[in-house]
Structure 1
Amino acid sequence: MYISHIQISNFRSFGENINIDFNEGINVIIGHNNAGKSNLLKALGLVFDCNSHKKLETDDFNKYIGIEKLREKPPKIEISITIKESENEDKYSDDLATIGECLTKIDSPYEAKLTYEFFLPEKEIENYKRIMLMLSGKDVNFYWKAIEDNFIRKYIYKIYCGDPEYKTEVDSEVLRKFDFQFLDAIRDVERDLCTGKNALLKEILDFFIDYDIKNDSQKDKNEKINEINSKKKQFSSDAGGLIKQLQGRMKSGKDEMLKYANKTGASFDKSILDFDGNVLDTQLYSALQLIVKYESDIKIPVCNNGLGYNNLIFISLLLAKMQKDASGEYLGSNSKVFPILAIEEPEAHLHPAMQYKFLKFLRENNHENARQIFITTHSPNITAAVELDEIIVLSSNNHKLDIGYPGKVFNISNQDDRKSKSYIRRFLDVTKSDMLFAKGIILVEGIAEQLLIPVFAKCLKINLEDCHISVINVGGRYFQHYLKLFNTKREGAIDKKVACITDLDPERKCKTEKNAKFKKCYPFELNVDTDKYDYKACSNNFITEFEDKIKNGHISDNIKYFTQIIGEGKTLEYEIILSNPNCKDLITNSISNAEKLEKLSEYFNEDKDLSCMLDELSNSGEDRRIKDSIINSSWDDDKKKRKHLIAAKYLNSVGKGENAMELSDILENNLKNKKFDFKPPEYIKKAIEWIIK
């Protein structure tokens, strides 16, 4: 069996009827802060954790219940959990017997339900309505204060089995068969590690002592018992010798020490104080201390370890305890049937490599000690290390919770979807998995856009980090794979805004050349010589396909693309100068032809005519091409031609990555010192303003 589904109503950050599906093995729950990850684990604990405090407080209610609803009836928290039959059910013979009384569907795969309710008893409801009707005003806090003052102490909780409509309370024995172990993010593990005095360590030692005998499949139960009892007897005999030695060493000192008892009258009726004793093996657990032993034979107490290592050690001990608690041979009918491990932020105190190793361990040992694992995390390292099918994304916007399942958006019967899923699985590294945590995403083609767009936003007085917007470099025009994750027309998609920033990259193809292919061209070359060339103002297939999907209703409106003006745009670098043709400060150290570009920029500022600027071009093949094309362009606007001339020359002089880094530094410094005016390209400005809106 496994926990397949949870429905939560009115608990903390969860509103009415929030439904979340789970996987049979590992569930990695991610999302931005306050999305509800910790509250989800708490909701599971309210049903399964026998040690948790199940009576709640007023602040445990979702506070966005309207006044009218509060007047109508008292708020109620409800957490309903569905348990389903596993694919490998035959391995676990006790599963069906454990939740038999909770079944809601008998046919295979069976289903069962457990429902936690926190509610005001029926006899109090009339008084509740009367007091609520006496209140007036539009401040909902007054109504919650009335609940706090008059009714919260009268609230009760129940856990029902089967269909919650029948209100059949679950037998406590059923709940005791579930072993819910929860490690919260703020945990003090040192107190649980140092010595055998600790209850956790003592329990584990008691289970694993003589483990070679207990785990010997060649011996029957009676043989094991007899052999262990023989070892206990031998230990007591050996320990008896130590007790005698101790008594001998105490003989003279004992008489001196206990004489005061006789003088004070503590010894009476011919009684005499003395020392005696025996030592059981279990009593010596407290003498054991966990240590770290190095190759050099240096030993240090485990409590001297760093917090990260101690967290890993503690989790390993906890898994050992879960193994002990699930042992029917050791605990008999008191053994647990379904161990559940819930870990909040395992990345706490762990560096990235350790995070990855820890997660790998959990994945490889799933079903051994913990039948189902729930992990909440903010770590892109952990997210990048798991399968898409294991990830659940919680995102909250204006108190509305959306749940995404990245693995479900791909239809495995569709070849294109299989390709996309494989691509995402391969390329969802630490930097790209960050997009699953963001509130909004800007997808870009390359490193230049990734470096510059955050700075462009600052020039617009917008901080993308403050807005929780991630800029993700997809390394080319591979948007279609990523967009499937966020296209809400698909089941399981993650509902967040995605802006795709892409280039037009106009092209032309020579008609007279055999087997000619389309090659890049400048915007001012378009349609100049239609007898010789075929032209494309936009060679970007993504844009064409995106437009078709919009027309056919196959893509949701939370996704948009932004590009340059058709017939005028080319690339980011080209557009930067089109928007700032008079800015010599954008000419970085790595740019070739720097002097020539500065001269062209100076001529533009002085409003010199086009011919004067064209004279500054060299006789190289590319410069002659620019010159001839500008002269023969169909454009009438002389200023427009001059701007495109500088943009073309700039584009041919930059190396994308190095120039982008230098330009980013220049713009960052300019934000502080304000030496020149800079205008981000219009299409990028629109993308940034849309994504934060």
Structure 2
Amino acid sequence: MYLKELQLTNFRKFESLKVNFKKGLNVLVGENDSGKTAIIDAIRYILNTKSFETIRFEPRDFYKPTKTTDDNPQPERADTFTIAAIFSDFSADEAAKFIEWGYFNEVKEFELRLFLKTKRLDNDRITWDIKAGPQGAELQMDGDAKTLLQVTYLKPLRDAEAEMTPGYRSRLAQILQSHNSFKKVKGTDGQYEKHELENIIEKANEEISEFLDGVKTKSTDHNSPNILESINSYIEDFRQIDDQREASVKIADPELHKILKTLGLELEENSSGLGTLNKLFMAAELLHLETDPFDALQLCLIEELEAHLHPQAQLRVINALKGISSKNGNQFILTTHSTTIGASISLENLILCRGQNVYPMWQGQTKLAIGDYKFLQRFLDSTKANMFFARGVIMVEGDAENILIPTIAELIGKPLHKYGVSIVNVGSTAFLRYSKIFQRKNLHEQGLSELDLPVSVITDLDIPVIEYFDYENKDKPEYYQVKEKSLTDNKTKSYCLKGIYDNIYASLDDLKAAIKSAISQTTMPDGLNKQIEGWRIKLDLNNIQAIRTAKFQTLKRKLDNQKVKVFTNKNWTLEYDLACSNKLRESFALAVQIAKKIKSSESYFDELFDEDGKFQIPYEIDQEADQDNTHEEIAYQIFKPFVDSGSPSKAVTAQIFSEILLLKKDDLVNKLESDSYLKYIIDAIKYACGEPEKEVQTNG
């Protein structure tokens, strides 16, 4: 069996929430205060833990609206909250233990539902009750059955050293006591037989006592009493006449439960670090899952798995948990703030907590196809995984944008770290795959809401300017544009192309793939190939703007969906468009020339900073653009180094340009805000930072 579903009503930040879990590994990710801990606490409140953590409800556990309305100007806390947990996939033996409270769902599967209801009374007194059964027919569940549903729980910022230290509250003792090998059994006479550990300790106590008998108070006087006799002589003077007790020395009290509390778990004789102790503690808890004699619920809750663990240790632990889950069928529900863990876990195991909802990332919940999952698992690294902990996301396709955008955001008063916005450099044009992570499938059919996370996709139009082909003696490319809203094959069957009408594609193969997708065919119907041959268009001055507009519309149709919005530049690339800008051209030209010198000699980079590390523009830098040329010719002269052999690094150019922007910020801030060539980037920043969609546009 496993925990299939959790339902919360008026619990903490959630007015109403349903969380679905999978068998095996479930990892809750999200920014701080996104509800991860509330979900974990709800589970342990309704099920209790094997380590018997104290459960104490507080008034703050009851939901209180954060927004005021005209009808409710002073919202108050709810008077009740409920938690329901639904279990599924029972074996016959498991179901037999809960037959009194279980039921069969609509697909004839045996399920068990637990229901916890709390009430807040006068003076903030809180009463609560747990029952089990289908909705409306709940019954009290007996203690033995509840025990079978207890969970293993590792709290956040756990004190592993204290948990593993011998003593009254020793967690190791609790774990060992639940194992059958540490249970005392009754003999034929009805009395408990001595456990083997008790015999071992008794024998050890006897040997210690024999040794101490020979230890004299005065080591030089063999006739002096031994140390225990001396101690008891003092005690005799201290005690009452009828008190006959005497002191003895023991390694441990020879009772099994007391022996177990004296045991400690360690990896080395020296004191271990917090990370090592944490791993030791987790290993002991996993042992408890494996050795539970009651065939109970195999569910483990771990908050902040990464506590005290460096990234490589995090990877080893999470991979071990994946292996354990796969091998033994344990269910794990984890929370994490670690991008390392977020990147190492398949999207199939992630649940994103955001706002008032949670969003499972597995198949059937997002718009990702099976191939997308495979692709993203290979390329989703810790840098990209930071998007799971963000309030907004900006996706870019290169290092230049990745470097430049934070500077622009800072200068326009939208520092990304203040707004919780993450930049994800996909390093390619695989935006469609990445963006689908944030798009929910079948929203209306399932009554679900969009993922409330603004995602800006910044990409170049990549339509080279005419000057490039003229100056470089290159052949102008051909594009393919869908010119009909329907096509008829040789059998007079009509196919609708309205969904891709007017789209432009870079190759004939791309066009055919789009048509086959639009008409839901795996091959092109007879006669269609010949009809689309005339859809070729060659780039020229008369149609370049139309091609750019059509390219933008194509990108918009592909990428714009739900909270994902695409933002593109005006012309070709970021660098070319900066070269076009009358307001920023001079500064960008300086950056290009400096980057060219760095390309020739990397040591030149050091000359750009004074002794205090402050950036300074070298005097010897020349601007090569001829100001008598046309606007387009000037722009191309500035941009031309990027198409020449030995071109400067775009990333270095962006870094230098960022330094120049910061150096001249007093003069350039207003220019940034009003520059039409950077408008798409500024709009993308504002959208990701939460500005209303209607106030930003998506094309520069």
CA deviation string 1:635-692 (max 9, x = no partner) = xxx5x34553444446446432232233333334444x86897636122122112222
Q: Could you give the per-residue CA deviations for residues 418-472 of structure 1, whole angstroms, max 9, x where no partner exists? A: 2222112221111111112211111111111111111121221210111111111
Q: Report what 1:417 is aligned to.
A: 369
Q: Are the equivalent residues in 2 in contact too, given 1:577–1:650 (CA < 8 A)?
A: no
| % identical equivalent positions | 23
Equivalent residue, structure 1, for 2:153: 182
1:242 aligns with 2:208: yes
Q: Which amino acid aligns with 1:156?
A: T
Counterpart position of 2:80: 76
Matched, 1:683 2:680: yes
- 2: distance between equivalents of 1:470 and 1:73? 34
Aligned amino acid, residue 242 of structure 1: I
C-alpha separation in 2, matches of 1:479 and 1:279: 67
Q: Which residue of 1 aligns with 2:656?
A: 662
Separation in 1 of the partners of 2:239 and 2:642? 104
1:577 equivalent in structure 2: 579
- Check if 1:25 corresponds to 2:27: no
Q: Deviations over 1:200-246 (max 9, x none)?
A: 223445678979x99xxxxxx99xxx999678657645653432333
The correspondence of residues 235-634 of structure 1 with structure 2, limited to 5 A, is 236-237=202-203, 239-249=205-215, 251-260=225-234, 263=237, 266-268=240-242, 273=246, 275=248, 280=254, 282=256, 289-293=264-268, 299-300=269-270, 304-324=271-291, 326-327=292-293, 335=294, 337-366=296-325, 371-396=330-355, 401-409=356-364, 417-488=369-440, 490=442, 494-507=451-464, 518=478, 527-528=540-541, 538=547, 543-548=552-557, 556-565=561-570, 569-579=571-581, 580-583=584-587, 585-591=590-596, 598-600=622-624, 604=627, 609-610=628-629
Unmatched 5+ residue regions in structure 2? Answer: 217-224, 480-505, 507-537, 601-617, 692-700
Q: Secondary structure at the match of 1:442?
A: strand
> What is the correspondence of 1:209-224 to structure 2 with a 5 Å cutoff?
none
Map of 2:41 onto structure 1: 42
**Counterpart of 2:146 in 1: which secondary structure?**
helix
Give the CA deviation at 1:95: 4.3
Secondary structure in 2 matching 1:160: strand
Structure 1 unaligned residues grouped into runs of 5+:
121-146, 215-220, 294-298, 328-334, 611-637
In structure 2, give the amino acid aligned to 1:659.
Answer: T
CA contact (8 A) 2:461 2:551 kept: no
Q: Supply the AA of the counterpart residue of 2:336.
A: T
Q: Which residue of 1 aligns with 2:532?
A: none
Q: Distance in 1 between matches of 2:580 and 2:2?
A: 60
* Secondary structure, counterpart of 2:40 in structure 1: helix
8 Å CA contact 1:506–1:536 kept in 2: the answer is: no
Higher helix share: 1
1:47–1:159 Cα contact (<8 Å) kept: yes
CA contact (8 A) 1:339 1:371 kept: yes
Deviations 1:356-385 (A, max 9, x none): 100011111127778321101111111111
Q: State the distance in 1 between where 2:247 and 2:427 align.
A: 83
Using structure 1 for the length normalisation, give the TM-score. 0.72
- Specify the alignment match of 2:102 in structure 1: 102
Q: Using a 3 Å threshold, how does the CA distance of structure 1 residues 57 and 244 change in structure 2: closer, same or farther? A: same
Q: Distance in 1 between matches of 2:685 and 2:664?
A: 20
Distance 1:557 1:209 in 2: 55
* Residues 77-92 of structure 1 aligned to structure 2 (within 5 Å): 77-85=81-89, 89=91
C-alpha separation in 1, matches of 2:330 and 2:383: 31
TM-score (norm 2): 0.71
TM-aligned CA deviation for residue 116 of structure 1: 0.8
> Aligned residues, how many?
575
Counterparts in 2 of 1:668 and 1:185: CA distance versus 1, 3 Å = farther
Residues 447, 473 of structure 1: 8 Å contact kept: yes
Distance 1:540 1:244, change over 3 A: farther
Kept in 2, the 8 Å contact 1:597–1:649? The answer is: no
**Which shifted more, 402-411 or 535-544?**
535-544
1:517 deviates by: 5.5
Q: Which moved more, 1:254-263 or 1:29-38?
A: 254-263
CA contact (8 A) 1:499 1:559 kept: yes
Aligned partner of 1:134 in structure 2 is none
Q: 1:267 to 1:597 in 2, by over 3 A?
A: closer
Residue in 2 that maps onto 1:218: none
Output the CA distance in 1 between the equivalents of 2:132 and 2:295: 18
- Equivalent in the alignment of 1:617: none
Give yes or no for contact 2:455–2:688 (8 Å, CA) kept in 1: yes
In structure 2, distance between residues paired with 1:313 and 1:685 = 50
Tell me: CA distance 1:85–1:168, structure 2 relative to 1, closer, same or farther (3 Å).
Answer: same
Change in 2 beyond 3 A, CA 1:368/1:319: farther
Q: CA deviation at 1:562?
A: 1.3
AA matched with 1:408: Q
The Cα shift of 1:570 comes to 0.8
Distance of 1:163 and 1:209 partners within structure 2: 34
For residues 338 and 308 of structure 1, what CA distance do their matches in structure 2 show? 28
1:47 and 1:116 in contact (8 A); partners too: yes
Is 1:199–2:170 an aligned residue pair? yes
1:98·1:177 contact (CA, 8 Å) conserved in 2? Answer: no
For 2:354 and 2:239, locate their aligned partners in 1 and report how far apart those are by CA, in whole Å. Answer: 74
